[in-house]
Amino acid sequence: MMENIRLNLVLIVLLGKTGVGKSASGNTILRKKEFKSLNGTNSVTRKSSEKHATVSGRNVSVIDTPGFFDTQMAPEQFMIEIARSVYLSCPGPHAFLIVFPVNNRFTDQEVEIPQIIEMLFGEEVLKYSIILFTHEDQLQKMSVEKLINDNENLKNIVDQCGGRYHVFNNRDENNIEQVNDLLQKIDTMIKQNGGGYYSNEMFEDALRFRQKMEIDKTRKETEENIRTKIQRENNSDYQTRKAAILCNYLRVKHSTIQFSFTCKHQFQ
């Protein structure tokens, strides 16, 4: 049985939609304003970036990333920055924090986020993931447990991450306990994962798998297009042949009528 794990170096990647509090959460973890953070839905983060600090005697690195569904960012550039986040955390992050604000309505986009993360990083990624709720101060008298249990979609998202979640009040900058509790949950998750981390090799395997899926999809679409084209051409040939047969039939029928009419007059 493994002993309790308390790593001297903790590597964390922040993921989530634009405006959910990723950068502010990074600042809370590092205990200083390293990432630019503004209130609102406009994205501040355009590139994945890494910042370091000593937190409760431990070296902590946090990688902030651009937001999912950012309409001002090309998908290709977003993919580049997501890849950069893994390589910035070389040899690989110990934890992905998937950030959701407690005061947001859960739409289809929120439901899709774990699937998108799995698509980007591979099936193993959710074993290294914790849901991080922000804006704890807006829960008022409701507990985060009740928030989760009252929303089936939200509960499913938490369950996909092994039931792991944490909640931050990024306005309470002096609350070191919320950061220490998060680091303890990361330690527990690392122990559950056998002391390992999400590696660059896992990301590269996911990239190869995704490329294979895209190639297979392109091949199937090409085959379907060729099949449709052949079918269309065959239908066209069939219609052409059908029209030719009909014309020949009408021509023969017309000749027969003419012949019958001629014979009738000749033998009267």
Contacts with 19 (C-beta within 8 Å, 6 or more apart), sequence order: 40, 41, 42, 43, 67
The pLDDT of residue 264 is 47
| pTM listed for this prediction | 0.75
> What are 210-251's pLDDT values in tens digits?
566 666 666 666 767 767 766 776 666 666 666 666 666 666
The average pLDDT across 182-201 equals: 88
- The domain ranges of the chain are 9-198
The pLDDT-based confidence of 6 (bands split at 50, 70, 90) is low
pLDDT at 37: 79
The CA distance from 136 to 168, in Å, is 6
What would the pLDDT profile of 32-90 be if each residue is shown by its tens digit? 999 987 765 555 678 899 999 999 999 999 999 999 988 888 888 988 898 888 888 88
Higher per-residue pLDDT: 202 or 43: 202
**For 9-198, which CATH superfamily applies?**
P-loop containing nucleotide triphosphate hydrolases (3.40.50.300)
First to last CA, the chain: 116
Token digits of residue 26? 């990074």
**Tens digit of each residue's pLDDT (9 = 90 or more) over 139-164:** 878 889 999 999 999 999 999 999 99
